[in-house]
Chains A and B, each alone.
Chain A
Amino acid sequence: MALAHELLRSGFPYYMTLGQRRVTSNPVDIGFGKENVYVLTKGGLGTEVRVINWEDENLGVLGGTDLFQWPAALLVDSEENLIVSDEAKHTVVTMDKDGNHLETWGVKGDGEGELDRPSGMSFDSEGNIVLSDTMNNRVQRFTRSGEHLQTIGVGDLDSPWGVAVDQLDNVYVVDWKNDRIVKYSRDGDLVMTLGSSGSGKGEFNRPSSVAVDNHGDIYVCDRQNNRVQLFNKEGKYIQSFHGNASLSKSGQTYILANAVTLRLRAMSDVEKTQLLDVPMTIRVDDDFRLFITDFGNHRIQIYKKDAIELSQDQIAPEMRNPILFTT
């Protein structure tokens, strides 16, 4: 599918918040089924997949530390099987939507097809898994059952984390310790790098995740700057998301039932609670919704892009210089 020539970016407003502490505690990734939302959690309040729905109701947990210890990423396939990468056991685990264990593959090592702390994952257009092999400083492509297909990024990367694959099967890798995103073609050729160290626009502080939507827009989870940055398909900075959360439905229900909590919230500054706190992973869907796992706040913040696709004849050609005389 061809990408739009340009976008009229109307805005990217806040959409909703899902989850709360003790339900979606410490979320590290999110995936979607036909009706359910799967939230991968990691930490002292639970290492598991939490199942909720769009009404923010808690439907229970799947998996757990017997299957994965340091889960990093979650994929949900068309049959709603759940695939989890585990950095502690150096494996990729698959279970069905009821939590039944289907398959585990992955062996620790640095040889072809071996893994050392597998982290970020994304499907390619054929349903293969593109996987960050963090401590081996590379990305590998595997079939669903773990057969090695390709190695990408050798010599370029330092402790890669998140990965994304766009419609054209280009691979975007979070080059974590180098504070940048590296884009590779389907064949593994380096196409573009994006970002550098810092806290300004287009700069990153240990980014953790990357996503690409169907417009080719690139989203970077700038973890230690507590924000998500949006770039267009050429890598031009568009805007940042610092957080604008409201109460989730489950959070509102909890607070309304607790008089002291209600009073303390009334005494405090709401603005602080809206911000992102160590966002971990971002995902975008076909409806141009952006999902941010707001790890430190135990919730998912969701935003929805409002943009109109433009053809080449609708918009003036690119200008080399800025101008002050505008209409």
Chain B
Amino acid sequence: MGSNDLALKAHLLRRAGFGASRGELEEIAKNGYEEIVEDLIHPERFEDLDEDYIRRYNPELSYHDGFQNHAGRWIWRMINTKRPLEEKMALFWHHVFATAYYKSEHVPTLIAQIETFRNNGLSNIKKVLNDLAKDPAMNYWLDNCENHSDQPNENWGRELLELFSMGVGNYSEDDIKNASRAFTGWTFEQPHPLYPFGHFASSFIFDEDDHDGSEKTFLGKTGNFNGEDIVEIICEQPATAKFICRHLYTFFVEDEPQVHTWSIEEPRNPEAIDEMIKVFMETDGDIRSILRFVFNSDFFKDAWYKKVKNPTELVAGTIKLTGMYDVIPKEGEALGTLYGSASVMGQALMNPPTVEGWHTGSEWIDGGTLNERVNFAVNQFDDVSTPGFKDILSRLGDQVKSDDLVGRCLDLIGPIEVGNETHAALSSYADAVGDLDLSTDQARTENAVKIARMIQLIVSTREYQFA
């Protein structure tokens, strides 16, 4: 297996993680493809990230005013972790179970929710939904703290079925009402107010006195159901298997139509979804097993560049190429900048626009956001002193022929494949700069900017927008 093998592994790391620098890719690629998949779906095989320095030099991470630095820390984790799928799954569930800062302005619970996704993201759907139902941030976001035995509030019950598990058309209004009754009394401990000492954490409380313990009928079953019983029944439904598998497919394999159209729009690849559903039903919704199947499938291996990178992927992946925002922060690096960069491209982590989350795929791109995406990527290669750029430069060797420049650079920052039109445009720049001497320090210094320009052209191509 030659460069194609490397490119396939790069594809896997873009989807199951946030890409890789060339050094990382070559190190990981010493293992076979299936072995890499096993490492990815078993993050516990690798040490957790050392956060000592990031916390020492970003004291904002030790209090809970404003979420931006904490969102930035999340992107920093994506850049530096040896467990990329752990962070990718947290991002996946954040897409599905979108919960925003703007309603509660309570950062400790938002951080705790992402930590829950980090911890349970590869477990099974029953655990994921039960943890979600007990999550204070979600509880407040969808008003379940106002769901009382004598005065039910159906917001959480409705969204649990519509957006979080089964999808529209697979349940009745009575099912929503009865599911909601089962979650009465599921609330959270009142945290201390912001003043005078800042935010404090909260945790789930089951208030039995406020719980409707009477008989309910839900999806054809009858009993004195509590919330866990509702989750149990939901997880047995083929509709849940299809809904979750479709989410996994669109996040990891190929951009699907937007979620709200799924009741009328069939999957782009129904055979693939059917195969995923089979694994889901055979494993009781074990996410790790489903992803093992997906990453080893032909439909995944053939899905290169069928997804528009979400802004977080674009930011984390590009920064990885520069070697910046390392484990030891450099002077002037601000975590809030990472958050802000993705935010202006349309993805404010921990603050999604609605409970539906973000519209993805081509909807990430409009005139404004494309401009932000290109400018961000280009700006990261303005500086020829970054560790990542210096590494690229050193890998180019002593001489780069003009004819080789495009191919070598595409290879080193991907490998990336580009169309003929793009290739021709890049080649015309390579022709203009001619052969480059990199054999001495002085020559490297003189020609570094020309190489950086080529990289900047590549990261501003249409192709770079895709994962």
Contacts and interface: CB of A to CB of B under 8 A. Distances in A.
Nearest to A272: B200
A273 B65 contact: no
A269 interface: yes
Interface stretch (B56-64, B85-93, B246-254, B365-373): B56-64
A252 B200 CA distance: 17
A265 interface: yes
Interface string B321-338: 000000000011000100
Interface string A296-319: 111100000000000000000000
A296 B195 contact: no
B65 A44 contact: yes
B191 A268 contact: yes
Contacts of B298: none
B340 to A, nearest CB: 13
B203 to A, nearest CB: 10
Given A44-B65, A44-B69, A298-B63, A265 B197 contact: no
A254 interface: yes
Contacts of A70: 57, 331
A295 interface: yes
Contact of A20 (B196, B332, B336): B196
A101 interface: no
Nearest to B200: A272
A297 B69 contact: no
B338 to A, nearest CB: 15
Interface residues of A, number: 46
Interface string B52-82: 1000110110111110010000000000000
Given A43-B63, A44-B66, A70-B57, A254 B196 contact: yes
Contacts of A89: 331
A283 interface: no
Interface in A258-281: 258, 260-261, 264-265, 267-269, 272-273, 277-278, 280
Contacts of A264: 190, 192-193
A260 B201 CA distance: 18
Given A177-B52, A295-B59, A273 B197 contact: yes
Nearest to B330: A88
Contacts of B344: none
A70 B329 CA distance: 12
Contact of A295 (B63, B66, B332, B336): B63
Contacts of B191: 268
Contacts of B194: 21
B195 A21 contact: yes
A160 B156 CA distance: 49
Nearest to A258: B195
B189 interface: yes
Given A206-B52, A268-B191, A43 B59 contact: yes
Contacts of A272: 192, 200-201
A245 B197 CA distance: 11
Contact of A265 (B52, B57, B192): B192
Given A297-B197, A298-B198, A273 B63 contact: no
A140 B217 CA distance: 74
Given A20-B196, A255-B195, A26 B190 contact: no
A25 B198 CA distance: 9
Given A251-B196, A297-B197, A42 B59 contact: yes
A273 B200 contact: yes
A43 B195 contact: no
Interface string A75-89: 000000000000111
A92 B69 CA distance: 27
A273 B193 CA distance: 10
Given A206-B52, A295-B62, A87 B197 contact: no
A277 B190 contact: no
A298 B195 CA distance: 10
A26 B197 contact: no
A45 B200 contact: no
Given A177-B52, A264-B190, A268-B190, A251 B195 contact: yes
B189 A21 contact: no
A252 B62 CA distance: 24
A149 to B, nearest CB: 26
Interface string A36-57: 0000001111000000000000
Interface in A185-219: 206, 208
Contacts of A16: none
B192 A268 contact: yes
Contacts of A208: 56
A43 B189 contact: no
22 contacts: A21-B65, A25-B65, A26-B60, A28-B59, A44-B66, A44-B336, A45-B65, A176-B52, A177-B52, A245-B197, A251-B197, A255-B195, A255-B196, A258-B195, A267-B190, A268-B193, A268-B200, A272-B192, A277-B62, A296-B198, A297-B198, A299-B196
Given A43-B60, A261-B195, 11 more contacts: A20-B197, A21-B196, A44-B66, A88-B332, A89-B331, A206-B56, A208-B56, A260-B193, A268-B190, A268-B200, A296-B63
- Which 4 pairs of residues, A with B, have the shortest CB-CB distance? A251-B196, A20-B196, A278-B62, A267-B190
